[in-house]
Amino acid sequence: MVSQSSFRLRKMLKKNKVFFVFLGLFFISLFSFFVFFCWGIYSAKNPDDKEEVVLRIEKGENLFSISRNLEKNNLIRHRIFFQIYVFSSGDYKHLQAGSYFFSPSMNIPRISQEMARGEIAKVKVVIPEGLTSAEIEDKLNSKINQTVKLQLENQNFKTYKGEFSFLKDAPDGASLEGFLFPDTYDFAIDTTSEEAARIFLVNFEKKLSPQIKTDIEKQGKRLFDIVIMASLLEKEVITLSDKKIVSGILWKRLEENIPLQVDATVGFAKTGKAVKISREDTLIDSPYNTYKYKGLPIGPICSPGLKSIEAAVYPEASQFWYYLSAPSRQTIFSRTYDEHLLAKAKYLP
């Protein structure tokens, strides 16, 4: 006959067995949920899909709306994974508005951290010397590829004079032609026209040394006129040494009230670009036509680089009054008009 104590022991062991089975199942379930959420959070939805999607986060947009958009664009497996990670990491306090490049190959921590750091989508754009504002505008729009196209050609100085002291002597109605400094830039893909213009102008101000500004004032010249001259040099001559000589020729011709007769200004008057011109083109009635009108044109004809600006500020005196650019891009200098005619007959087709 089984004793009462043995019966109680077996009953207790049976209860303990059930308890440990349930306890084991609980921990297995807990571990499974932990693994499931780690998988959903830390593994990318599609590691092989590198195609980037532009996601716009509006100012004031909440976490739930952001997570829905991420899920809708197939960037994460489920919004709940994003919400759990962002709350637990504290990133929800720092998510910043803007447009971002995301792809299904990015996991949730990376997406969240980029938003928290404000690493908005940017494109690198190289602006070479000698482009017009219209050409720069086209280049930016081809790179940034926004719905709303940037309009730099129509921007004018009046908007920015209060912010940039170097614009004080520029005409209010003048465009930003010549002041969109050539350089390598990183532009946010949702940059507005005014933001882009400010980026160019800030860079222009940085590149223009205090010494150059001081020397321009000492010469009694306007920075605006220096940039006009630099734009002519940028289009006409290649090397810095030649630019300085041509600068000396052109400033000398201005002082003597002799027409500059710079072909590039006629090309700009004709098409907005530097193009080959004919004799008839020199008769175009335009304030940019330095064959028809004496003095500098009314504004720059392109965005000059720093070397051209320096050549405009520091011209080299010479005995020359004329120059021409040969098809080889060599600059031929002449002291007299007769020498210039001989050089044209020799070097120009």
User: Same structural domain for residues 126 and 113?
Assistant: no
Inside any domain, residue 98:
yes
pLDDT of 310 = 96
Q: How many structural domains compose the chain?
A: 3
Tell me the pLDDT tens digit for each residue of 267-300.
Answer: 898 876 555 677 888 888 899 999 999 999 999 9
User: Same structural domain for residues 63 and 93?
Assistant: yes
Maximum distance among all alpha carbons in the chain?
140
Q: Write down the pTM of the prediction.
A: 0.79
User: Same structural domain for residues 109 and 65?
Assistant: yes
Inside any domain, residue 332:
no
User: Which among 182, 207, 232 is the end of a domain?
Assistant: 207
Inside any domain, residue 328:
no
Cβ proximity of 268 and 301 under 8 Å = yes
pLDDT of 10 = 57
CA dist., res. 119 & res. 258, Å (int)? 55
Helices 306-313 and 240-255 pack at an angle, to 10 degrees, of 40
Inside any domain, residue 22:
no
What value, to the nearest 5°, has the Cα angle with vertex 191 and ends 135 and 168? 70
The partner residues of 124 in beta bridges, in order of sequence, read 186
Inside any domain, residue 308:
yes
Cβ proximity of 276 and 193 under 8 Å = no
User: Same structural domain for residues 102 and 152?
Assistant: no
CA dist., res. 176 & res. 197, Å (int)? 8
User: Same structural domain for residues 200 and 154?
Assistant: yes
User: Same structural domain for residues 138 and 89?
Assistant: no
Inside any domain, residue 194:
yes
User: Same structural domain for residues 257 and 288?
Assistant: yes
For residue 200, the enclosing domain spans 122-207
What DSSP line would sit under 188-256, residue for residue?
ETT--HHHHHHHHHHHHHHHS-HHHHHHHHHTT--HHHHHHHHHHHHHH--SHHHHHHHHHHHHHHHHT
User: Same structural domain for residues 183 and 225?
Assistant: no
**How many C-beta atoms lie closer than 10 Å to residue 314's C-beta?**
15
User: Same structural domain for residues 156 and 126?
Assistant: yes
pLDDT of 1 = 47
Residues of the chain with pLDDT below 50 are: 1-2
The partner residues of 123 in beta bridges, in order of sequence, read 187
pLDDT of 61 = 86
- If DSSP codes are grouped into helix, strand and coil, which group holds residue 333? strand
CA nearest neighbour of 100 among 116, 88, 84 = 116
User: Same structural domain for residues 131 and 201?
Assistant: yes
Inside any domain, residue 190:
yes
CATH code of the domain containing 91: 3.30.1490.480
User: Same structural domain for residues 223 and 314?
Assistant: yes
Query: Which residues 6+ apart lie within 8 Å of 202 measured at CB?
Result: none
- Outline where DSSP puts E strands in the chain: 53-57, 98-102, 122-126, 184-188, 322-325, 331-334
Query: Which residues 6+ apart lie within 8 Å of 139 measured at CB?
Result: 125, 127, 131
pLDDT of 290 = 94
One-letter amino acid of 173:
G
User: Which among 70, 99, 117 is the end of a domain?
Assistant: 117
pLDDT of 165 = 86
User: Same structural domain for residues 235 and 288?
Assistant: yes
Inside any domain, residue 337:
no
User: Which among 177, 207, 237 is the end of a domain?
Assistant: 207
